[in-house]
């Protein structure tokens, strides 16, 4: 193993630790620490990754990173960044300290040479149709991957592990890719968008010990809830089991304890997202569609008088006609859902239920109804109660 004088003793020690190959099989460059591995044979019993295989999220050699730059959306980190995290004193930005520059330089090197190009890899991670050339020391930051590496049989080197996401449909390939990248560097945060944030959150929850990434992805998810994205979030809520305090009879079928719900991977974040969707439905959405506002048009009635037509109300009814029942019931009965008088709330629920019979409630074998609440503390239910009961099967009498 030959190292130029530009490399420090720290670099030599690091290369000696992470390089799983013999000195005769590796040649070290000098100017940019670029590593070229001559070790190309696969693990006995496993096929060696080919040049056309998808490696580290890319197709092609060098884990998909070409000489012109990165193809996965990450910036090409060749040097430390001095713009972020610089302390400010008396209104002037202070230059980063030597240890900050040094630490950033190491992280950038690990991310570019370790994750983006897969240099000095000692572990091959397979997930779906993608193979990642990674490093066990970095992967061990994840309890999930650390357990997988310690329990997977090792035959030769590099170590080969397989991640099975068959029962985790919320963990997307893109989300898993960014979560792996975050193990190496926080540069992965720059690629999290509303379109992939849920997959990133699921992957981060699965890998574990990624609280910062989870909170970051969760916040993007929360902010992405809108009228346009609501259908996909309602589907998410429909697959998430509703919490129960044991005081009421479940209105949804009891889940098989051996069945793995698709949202279980989110842990506590599933309930937080559920609450965010509920808050959007009962607080944000009525204001968004101007429910009961004065700006809505008026429609002339047949007798010539002007009849107020609340377009916001119609939009709201169309939305609640597609909301899962447990969320629908909680919203209608919530005093936070400002629908005007008790009579207005009752009429809104009745109109929505009538429309639900043609949609989400159709074919469920259950009948939804709304009744006025009398006696007791009706303020907790908004003055109305929504119920659902199974329809009685029609009995046929057979005459002998």
Per-residue pLDDT of 194-229, as tens digits, reads 999 999 999 999 999 999 999 999 999 999 999 999
Distance CA 220, CA 126 (A): 28
pLDDT in tens, 278-298: 999 999 999 999 987 645 444
- pLDDT at position 298 is 46
pLDDT at res. 58: 67
Distances (CA, A) of 24 to 1, 27, 28, 276, 310: 7, 8, 11, 57, 78
> Minimal CA–CA distance to 151: which of 165, 163, 169?
163
pLDDT score for 198: 98
329 vs 299: CA distance, rounded Å: 31
CA-based radius of gyration for the chain: 29
Provide the pLDDT for residue 240.
Answer: 74
Residue 176 vs residues 76, 170, 190, 228: alpha-carbon distances, Å? 20, 10, 15, 25
Residue 243: per-residue pLDDT: 61
Candidates 8, 17, 117; CA nearest to 66 is 117
Is the per-residue pLDDT at 92 higher than 90? no
Out of 61-75, 80-94, 131-145, 232-246, pick the least confident. Answer: 61-75
Q: What is the pLDDT of residues 27-76, one digit of tens each?
A: 333 333 333 333 334 444 444 444 345 677 766 544 533 333 444 556 55
Task: Identify which of 238, 208, 206, 203 has the alpha carbon closest to the alpha carbon of residue 221.
Answer: 203
pLDDT in tens, 226-235: 999 999 999 9
Quick one: what percent of the chain has pLDDT higher than 90?
53
Q: Are 123 and 161 contacting, i.e. CB atoms less than 8 angstroms apart?
A: yes
Whether residue 4 has pLDDT greater than 60 = no
Q: What is the pLDDT of residues 115-135, one digit of tens each?
A: 999 999 999 999 999 999 999
The CA-atom distances, in angstroms, between 395 and each of 260, 364, 399, 400 are: 37, 19, 13, 16
Bond before 81 cis per omega within 30 degrees: no
**Local structure of 308: helix, strand or coil:** strand
- Give CA–CA dist 252/365, Å, rounded: 12
């Amino acid at each position: 193993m030959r190292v130029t004088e530009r490399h420090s003793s720290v670099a030599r020690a690091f290369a000696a630790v992470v390089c799983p190959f013999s000195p005769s099989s590796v040649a070290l460059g000098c100017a940019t620490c670029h590593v070229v591995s001559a070790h190309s044979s696969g693990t006995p019993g496993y096929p060696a990754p080919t040049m056309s295989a998808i490696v580290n999220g890319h197709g092609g050699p060098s884990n998909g990173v070409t000489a012109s730059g990165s193809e996965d959306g990450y910036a090409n980190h060749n040097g430390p960044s001095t713009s972020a995290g610089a302390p400010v004193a008396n209104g002037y930005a202070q230059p980063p300290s030597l240890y900050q520059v040094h630490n950033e330089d190491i992280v950038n090197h690990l991310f570019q040479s370790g994750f983006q190009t897969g240099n000095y890899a000692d572990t091959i991670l397979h997930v779906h149709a993608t193979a990642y050339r990674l490093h066990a020391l970095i992967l061990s930051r994840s309890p999930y991957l650390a357990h997988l590496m310690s329990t997977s049989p090792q035959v030769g080197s590099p170590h080969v592990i397989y991640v099975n996401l068959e029962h985790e449909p919320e963990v997307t390939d893109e989300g898993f890719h960014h979560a792996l990248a975050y193990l190496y560097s926080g540069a992965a945060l720059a690629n999290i968008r509303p379109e992939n944030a849920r997959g990133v959150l699921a992957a981060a929850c699965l890998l574990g010990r990624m609280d910062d990434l989870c909170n970051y992805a969760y916040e993007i998810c929360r902010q992405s809830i809108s009228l346009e994205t609501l259908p996909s979030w309602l589907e998410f809520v429909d697959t998430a089991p509703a919490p129960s305090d044991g005081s009421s009879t479940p209105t949804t079928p009891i889940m098989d304890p051996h069945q793995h719900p698709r949202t279980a991977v989110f842990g506590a974040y599933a309930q937080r997202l559920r609450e965010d969707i509920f808050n959007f439905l009962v607080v944000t959405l009525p204001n968004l569609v101007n429910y009961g506002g004065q700006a809505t048009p008026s429609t002339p009635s047949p007798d010539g008088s002007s009849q107020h037509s609340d377009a916001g109300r119609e939009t709201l009814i169309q939305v609640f006609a597609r909301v899962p029942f447990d969320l629908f019931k909680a919203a209608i009965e919530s005093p936070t859902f400002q629908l005007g008088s008790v009579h207005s709330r009752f009429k809104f629920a009745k109109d929505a239920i009538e429309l639900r019979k043609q949609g989400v409630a159709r074919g469920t074998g259950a009948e939804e109804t709304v009744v006025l609440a009398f006696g007791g503390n009706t303020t907790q239910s908004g003055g109305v109660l929504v119920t659902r009961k199974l329809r009685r099967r029609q009995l046929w009498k057979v005459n002998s």
